[in-house]
């Protein structure tokens, strides 16, 4: 089944030590106090071939204007070591500020989505179906935010697709514009999270661009199945180009008169 989806979720940037980075473009108010940023987008996933593509709607990011995702691709990788499992390898580029094509690789746990697909069986997921409140916990779920006496967690709860602590292997030399940038084999993250002493930081460290070593976490908390987009017939495109041609001819004639 090829599933077309709209999704909503949260973006969380974690430093190499696990500490959260506050998105200063958002106010320090509930529910996330700038530590998480609400995001949304679209996704297409082919459950037969285990491949997908997606979009992330532009969102304001650290004073550099809108962050714009480019070339979001996904590949199901089982358990990451050749066995069955819910992991998905994602790669994307980001345009932000003066940086184009910031490479981001990420290992996701899609057990919530895959579980819903399995439960639907041969009937498949239905248009309008919402998947939320099910799946794994995001790696950043128990990250401790705030300082001093104002420490708190911002759990997202079980979610259809979440970021894990797995790291990816770089594909060659990672520079701006490299996509995909991360591949198998997966690398176990052994860094101790400075906020909660857990082993592993959510996300795979970025290797190029303005945030080297930092970890971009994209967690999808709700998915809505939508109809497949209707392709525009070639005849319509030809008709449109023909109209443009006629307009051009008419303008040249008017100039001669």
pLDDT for the residue numbered 235:
61
pLDDT for the residue numbered 247:
47
Task: Indicate whether 116 pLDDT > 50.
Answer: yes
Q: E strands within the chain?
A: 2-14, 37-46, 51-56, 59-60, 66-78, 87-96, 99-109, 130-132, 144-145, 152-153, 162-163, 167-170, 182-187, 215-226
Q: How confident is the model at residue 242 (pLDDT cuts 50, 70, 90)?
A: low
Q: How confident is the model at residue 196 (pLDDT cuts 50, 70, 90)?
A: very high
Give me 53's structure tokens.
């593509």
Give me 23's structure tokens.
């998105």
Q: How confident is the model at residue 231 (pLDDT cuts 50, 70, 90)?
A: confident
The residues, any chain, with a CB within 8 Å of residue 43's CB and separated by 6 or more, are 3, 4, 5, 6, 7, 52, 53, 54, 55, 74, 220, 223
The pTM for the full model equals 0.89
Instruction: Count Cα atoms within 13 angstroms, Cβ side, for 194.
Output: 10
The region of weakest confidence among 14-18, 48-52, 199-203, 237-241 is: 237-241
Pair type for strands 37-46 and 51-56? antiparallel
């Amino acid at each position: 089944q090829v599933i077309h989806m709209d999704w909503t979720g949260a973006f969380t940037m974690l430093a190499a030590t696990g500490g959260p980075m506050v998105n200063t473009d958002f106010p320090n108010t509930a529910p996330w106090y700038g530590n998480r940023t609400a995001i949304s987008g679209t996704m297409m996933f082919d459950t037969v071939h285990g491949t997908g593509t997606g979009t992330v709607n532009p969102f304001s990011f650290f004073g550099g204007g809108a962050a714009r995702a480019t070339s979001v691709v996904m590949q199901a990788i089982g358990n990451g070591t050749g066995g069955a499992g819910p992991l998905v390898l994602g790669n994307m580029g980001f345009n932000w500020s003066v940086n184009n094509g910031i490479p981001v690789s990420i290992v996701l746990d899609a057990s919530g989505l895959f579980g819903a697909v399995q439960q639907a069986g041969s009937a498949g997921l239905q248009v309008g179906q919402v998947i939320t409140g099910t799946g794994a916990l995001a790696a950043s779920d128990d990250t401790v935010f705030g300082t001093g006496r104002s420490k708190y967690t911002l759990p997202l709860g079980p979610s259809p697709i979440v970021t894990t602590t797995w790291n990816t292997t770089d594909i060659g030399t990672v520079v701006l514009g490299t996509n995909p940038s991360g591949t198998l084999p997966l690398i176990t993250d052994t860094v101790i999270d400075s906020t909660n002493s857990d082993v592993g930081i959510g996300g795979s460290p970025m290797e190029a661009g303005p945030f080297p070593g930092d970890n971009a976490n994209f967690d999808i908390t709700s998915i809505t199945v939508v109809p497949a987009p209707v392709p525009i017939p070639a005849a319509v495109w030809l008709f449109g180009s023909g109209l443009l041609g006629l307009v051009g001819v008419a303008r040249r004639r008017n100039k001669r008169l």
